[in-house]
Structure 1
Amino acid sequence: MNQVEPRSAEAAERLRLRYPRSRVPRPVAVLLIGALALVGLGWLVWAGYVYATPQVDAQVATYVVRGDRSIAVTLTVERRDPSIAATCRVVAQAVDFQTVGEVEVAVPAGTDKLTSVDIDIVTLRRATTAVAKECTSG
């Protein structure tokens, strides 16, 4: 049978030396971890907001296929600061999603946050759609 030794002062001292108390009191550690978590959460919310609302965004409002070699596109560009010029890349795609035409559209600085730009894209073969791929400011 296993007998459990009574706990002696010597055994208690060995345990105390082997497992010393933390240098930081528990309430202070909890407060530090909580503050760090709040800072991290604040940064996450800030980063999500900043990157969810880009400086410039565009989308194709309408397009009309004019034939086997041309497509007319109306591009709607939205800028947070309309006084900054923007450049957007518009791609015409064929029925198999291959790029058949591409153009970079310069949107000059203005006073309206929402701007429409009409463009014609010359294509290699018949296009079936047009897509705004990317926009940059400046």
Structure 2
Amino acid sequence: MTDAADRLARRYPPPRVPRGVLVGLVAAGTALGLGWLVWAGLVHATPAVSAQVSAFTVVSDTTIRVTMTVQREDPSVPATCRVIAQSPDFQPVAEQEVAVPSSTVALANIPLELTTLRRATSASVSGCQVG
């Protein structure tokens, strides 16, 4: 019996890293990854500037009026937003970069009028950036 046990011990040597150390390293890596995930989620959950179309009116086959609501963390910093008007088949028919000047209020409604290539049925903000 001892001979068989010796053969098994030679065939399957003990691990180089003890199990407790390995479990500790995995736990530390998991905690680090989870901490980074929470941090990244919190940082990107509140952008410096965000906007949405709060209202739009189709005036004619070549014109749409849009009211864009912009919210900024720091209203003293100017921003730019891209507004897109779309046709019934979801093709963009107008696109405009809108400069949002600095002000004293964090929430601003900006009216604008877009000239379209053909009749638009919706409008949206595709993105905003500070500066």
Same fold (TM over 0.5): yes
Q: CA deviation at 1:28?
A: 2.3
Q: Which residue of 2 aligns with 1:62?
A: 55
- Aligned-residue Cα RMSD (Å) equals 1.7
Q: CA deviation at 1:17?
A: 1.9
Q: Work out the number of aligned pairs and report it.
A: 131
Q: Which moved more, 1:24-33 or 1:98-107?
A: 24-33
Q: CA deviation at 1:56?
A: 1.9
Q: Does 1:113 align with 2:124?
A: no
Identity %: 54
Deviations 1:33-55 (A, max 9, x none): 11111111111111222233322
Q: TM-score, normalised by structure 2?
A: 0.87
Q: CA deviation at 1:105?
A: 0.2
Deviations 1:9-66 (A, max 9, x none): 2322222122111233222222221111111111111122223332221100111122
Q: TM-score, normalised by structure 1?
A: 0.84
Q: Does 1:101 align with 2:94?
A: yes
Distance in 2 (alpha carbons) for counterparts of 1:106 and 1:132: 13
Q: Which residue of 1 aligns with 2:7?
A: 14
Any unmatched runs of 5+ in structure 2?
Answer: none
Runs of 4+ that moved beyond 3 A = none
Any unmatched runs of 5+ in structure 1?
Answer: 1-6
